[in-house]
Structure 1
Amino acid sequence: MTALAPHLSAYLREHLPRERAVSPHTVKTYANCFVLLVQFAADRLKRRPTDLEIEDLGPDMIMAFLDHVETGRGSCVRTRNGRLAAIRSFFRYIEYRIPACLDLALRVRSIPTKKTDKALIDYLDRAEIKALLDAPDPRTRLGTRDRAMLHLAVDFH
């Protein structure tokens, strides 16, 4: 069995900011995800967070956590998928560091994201339309073409 704490700390403190060069905001978001996950797993397994092992975070535990994020915490599907992205990233890190956890990492990384509705823009106001039409450079041939196509696409009723 492999202790979770040292690997999770190295992932958040060294791997993300130094090796992956992600923003501090991303590190904070991922850390928040793991705070929730560790609390959830510790409560479910009735252990202290420091006693958790990587093997405790199997696909069943991750799926239960993601369901908890959505239903128990009232988060949207996008938030759930964001938490899953953080977890997948950690297990991608683990698969290269701990060969004994390779199978577990592959099973966790195979958890699918949920489909979300794509937000559509219902309308643009006049100022937004004007900005869109003014974007192509009318001094170039391609800019004139792009501007003409945009004018054909816009309906000013």
Structure 2
Amino acid sequence: MAQERTGVATLKGNPITLLGPELKQGDQAPDFQLNKSLVDVVSLKDFAGKAKLISVVPSIDTGVCDAQTRRFNEEAANLGDNVAILTVSVDLPMAQARWCGAAGVDKVTLLSDYKDNSFGEAYGVLIKELRLDMRAIFVIDANDTIQYVEVLSEMTEHPNYEQALAAVKALV
């Protein structure tokens, strides 16, 4: 059974419980299995040798999640080919693909944690009460060591884009 962490996050001021460990800078990034489509699955090793910025959002169809994903898509051009930008949510892969087409997002890879929430649990961002992943940013180097973590304390707030981007730029 996953570790339960209380008192670390809220949704509109109401306490929520996060499942999984609290990952920190210097930790080895846990492997994951995420769906790129209903049948195609990717893992951490699919991005081997690249710096990774993993942007975790509760649902792509909400305002802050939409803005967060668009912002990282815009910044991708400045980061080069040695950086993989991943957005993880529990939205179904078809909904993610539809959103990307409508939004013109083409530089960020959207991946779904819908099947078993294993990413959320491994990265300590699975919200017990909602079965969604908490808004968070993880920057992981080419050797799969975590270099930057921001798990937001309030789900509806934006992450610190500048700090996350500075962390990934320091790796390339």
TM-score by length of 1: 0.25
* Bigger helix share: 1
Larger Rg: 1
* Bigger strand share: 2
